[in-house]
Amino acid sequence: MPDLVLTNATYQYKTATAPSVSNVNCVFTTGKMYAIVGPSGSGKSTLLSLLAGLDLPTGGEVSFGGVSLASMNLDKYRQTDISMIFQSFHLFPLMTVLENVCYPLELIGVKTVDAIPRAQKLLESVGIKPAQMKRFPSQLSGGEQQRVAIARSLAAGAKTLLADEPTGNLDEANTQNIMSILQKLAHEDDYCVIVVTHDLEAAAIADVVCRMRDGVLVS
């Protein structure tokens, strides 16, 4: 089980006078869903960027499967071990829904003929219908676009999903739907799911709620 572990993790932006993440200790394991909550500016996105290997901590350590990210090939880590989901979906606008999900499969060398049925299965698993797969992202609702983004993030096979405000642009019904898809991935398919959210009601569905305040993990 490759745990994602923060050990006294600290991060201070070059231009900042105080750390945005300060001495955080936390273990994220597979099979569980985590919510990171806290006021604006409390360091949630910074923490997520440390977990994603987008930034290395300026103090302490982030490790995955017992190996420090500092000694890893971070491009490979980001390509194969973790996957990110964003508030604004980040789908490719000029590709169809199906092509969006095939893309990461083709990046890892899967031939188009094999990528298509795999992508269709992933899209079906998040409730996207065959007719919707032929459309462009702009021709879907926000909730549908986020489900496509989840399917795409699953395509490359990473078992750790990091999501920054994935339901920030969605209404309550779609928020519940996305959160329950993420919960199912953790509980039934053994993903490690880490979700940053402002929405305390959405956070309540998580197995563990991590509260940030002023860069510190308070509970």
Ligand X SMILES: Nc1ncnc2c1ncn2[C@@H]1O[C@H](COP(=O)(O)OP(=O)(O)OP(=O)(O)O)[C@@H](O)[C@H]1O
Query: Binding residues for Mg ion, per CB under 5 A?
Result: 45
Nearer to ligand X, 205 or 216 (CB): 216
Q: How far out from the chain centre does Cα 28 lie?
A: 13
Among Mg ion, ligand X, none, the one that 16 touches (CB under a kind-dependent 5 to 8 A) is ligand X
Among 10, 33, 34, 42, binds ligand X (CB under 6 A): 42
Nearer to ligand X, 47 or 133 (CB): 47
CB of 44 to Mg ion, least distance (A): 5
Mark 161-180 as b/e (b = at least 16 C-beta within 10 Å): bbbbbbbbbbeeebbbbbbe
- Asked whether position 58 contacts ligand X by CB under 6 A, the answer is no
DSSP state of 191: -
CA-angle at 181, arms to 186 and 80, nearest 5°: 55
- Asked whether position 46 contacts ligand X by CB under 6 A, the answer is yes
Report the DSSP pairing between strands 67-68 and 59-64.
Answer: antiparallel
- Asked whether position 167 contacts ligand X by CB under 6 A, the answer is no
DSSP state of 78: I
Among ligand X, Mg ion, none, the one that 137 touches (CB under a kind-dependent 5 to 8 A) is none
- Asked whether position 51 contacts ligand X by CB under 6 A, the answer is no
CB of 57 to ligand X, least distance (A): 13
CB of 173 to ligand X, least distance (A): 23
- The whole-angstrom separation of Cα 17 and Cα 79 is 33
